Amino acid sequence: MTAQPSRMHDVTDETRAIVDLVLDYSHRRLLSEDTPLDKPLPAAELARLAGATVTESGIGARKALGLFEHVLAPSCITTDDPRYLSFIPSAPSKAAAAFDLVVSASALYGGSWLEGAGAVHAENEVLRWLAGEFGLPAGAGGVFVQGGTLGNLSALVAAREAARDAADAAGTRPDRWRVVCSAEAHSSIASAARVMDIEVVAVPSDDGVLRGDAVRTALEQHGASVFAVVATAGSTNFGIVDDIAGIADAAADHGVWLHIDGAYGLAAMLSPRTRHLFRGVERADSVIVDPHKWLFAPFDACALIYRDPELGRRAHTQHAEYLDTLTETADWSPSDFAAHLTRRPRGLPLWFSLATYGAGVYRDAITSAIDLAQQIADEIERRPGFTLVRRPQLGVVVFERDDWEKADYDRWSARLLDDQHAFVTPSSHAGRTNARFAILNPRTSFAHLTGILDTMA
């Protein structure tokens, strides 16, 4: 067989046909109004249905795409379905999802200004807009990273580096570094601590809210070993916002870096309904928010913003001979601001959607989810046999079906998905199993939610 080393890259009849196939499928999927919720299949069943797809000669684009469309994709739950109410959903705008194709088709690299100045400029405009919404100063900036876990890790690495420099200058480096956070902080904080080999001081919260007085006590107890305090701006399980202003006071009084984990909830600052809940965010040294959650961007994107980006750059810039061309300039290279090097310009779909629709539509969409959460909470309180665990602050509604055990919730959840009615997984709090609606998608309706409640009768 004659070698064809450039077959995959040349523009030929074959590649034209492949692109047409993919674009046709993408067009149909993006504009579909009746995409099923779908559900996973067992591994053995998937293997049987798909068969061997990676072979020496290939199976061809048409067959590969057919397998994806009819076997693989239907075994993935559709995260932008309005009935997807588990975890924290994703609901990318049509413009953002479509532009994600453009980003891939354009062969862009988003790690350096030298290679991707236009893309970096657009991403930075979005980051500056977000920083302004959060009340951070004009010089604030950062980078889009993969997700909240990497965003939190990168912010804490920068915080420790700044604390280490200060401690070394004073000759007072502690034997062990610590970070203070709520006992109900996101699991990514504990994950970052394992990676960094630091200790987490988990402070008990008052009804789920970490308060300034409790943080102050922890800082007094652990002294100079604490290099950062993490406040949560919208917890995943309940959507609770910590006492950020009080925590900011405590952190400032002790000269400690304040990081805001707003992966889910910080976007609610865009809504006039809930902006007041986030007082104190403007005093943060770093914040994160995930656009692939409540800012309607595709997976995967987390905006990491530093009050002083130079502290992020000092902590994360990688140095090597082949990188001298990049590191010897003052250009804004996104790779310098997080624990990564290679990156795609994942902020561009959000930029395109914001530029297309305007920020006002985002405010309206977020506000509608907050209002719907209040409506369904009222309905749950009215219904006999249901208990609302707590009033929602943002878009997460947690409730119990009276007298149900975990097995009852598990059977109900499985039946909902089997019947393609909804995707609602059980959660728990304080040892009690509960049900939970994470309301984010602007297409989720009151009728969707009451219909789900009806299945619990």
Distance CA 96, CA 78 (A): 17
Residues 6+ apart with CB under 8 A from 130: 289, 303, 305
Instruction: Fill in the DSSP letter of residue 358.
Output: -
Task: Give the model confidence (pLDDT) of 306-335 as tens digits.
Answer: 999 999 999 999 988 878 788 888 899 999
pLDDT of res. 205: 87
- Within 10 angstroms of residue 400's Cβ, the number of other Cβ atoms is 18
Whether residue 258 has pLDDT greater than 80: yes
pLDDT of res. 318: 95
Rg (CA), the chain: 24
Structure token digits, residue 109: 């690299």
Report whether 265 contacts 364 (CB < 8 A).
no
Report whether 305 contacts 141 (CB < 8 A).
yes
pLDDT of res. 2: 58
Report whether 284 contacts 252 (CB < 8 A).
no
Q: 303: number of CA atoms within 13 Å, CB side? A: 33
The single residue listed with the structure tokens 């925590």 is 247
Q: Of 308, 276, 256, give the one whose Cα is nearest residue 138.
A: 308
What is the DSSP pairing of strand 286-289 with strand 302-306?
antiparallel
Task: Give the model confidence (pLDDT) of 73-118 as tens digits.
Answer: 999 999 999 999 999 999 999 999 999 999 999 999 999 999 999 9
Report whether 379 contacts 450 (CB < 8 A).
yes
- Residue 18 backbone dihedrals phi, psi, to 5 degrees: -65, -50
Average the pLDDT over 61-74 and give the result. Answer: 98
| Residues making up the chain, counted from first to last | 457
Structure token digits, residue 381: 């309180």
Dihedral of CA 241/198/308/315: which sign? Answer: negative
Dihedral of CA 383/384/386/389: which sign? Answer: positive
Whether residue 1 has pLDDT greater than 50: no
Q: How far is CA 411 from CA 252, 396, 406, 424, 429, in A?
A: 49, 22, 9, 11, 19
What is the DSSP pairing of strand 199-203 with strand 178-182?
parallel
